[in-house]
Amino acid sequence: MEYFLDAIKKYADFSGRATRKEYWMFVLFYMIIFLLLSVVDGLLETFILGTIFSLAVLVPSVSIAARRLHDIGRTGWWLLITLIPVIGIIILIVFLTQNSQDGNAYGPSSKLV
């Protein structure tokens, strides 16, 4: 849960790096919370809770994804590749699962710090 909260705290920090574990733990907790809220929405026959949560976590999601791309030596603008249907999402997932680089233009490796 600390990875999720750290990403929320760094919601406006698009610089620096995020490890693979940090990113995927954020995604895991995001999905768990969203699924729980969706179940509650289903019981209440509404969709407001999941929508509010998704909108509240939109900027932190983009921020941590940009920092994850920095960790592999790519710019955060690569997130725009998701605008290409299907292929863009596949390419982005491949990028997000790659190993970290030791040092690059975005700073020293997060693993070493």
- The secondary structure of residue 46, as a DSSP letter, is -
Q: What is the pLDDT of residues 48-60, one digit of tens each?
A: 999 999 999 999 9
- Please state, in angstroms and rounded to a whole number, the distance separating the CA atoms of residues 78 and 59: 16
Query: How would residue 113 be classed by pLDDT, with cut points 50, 70 and 90?
Result: low
How many Cβ atoms from other residues are within 10 Å of residue 47's Cβ?
A: 12
pLDDT digits (tens, 9 = 90+) for 83-103: 999 999 999 999 999 988 777
- The packing angle between helices 48-56 and 58-71, to 10°, is 40
Q: Is the pLDDT of residue 66 over 90?
A: yes
Q: Mean pLDDT across the chain, nearest whole number?
A: 91
CA 96 – CA 80 distance, rounded (Å): 14
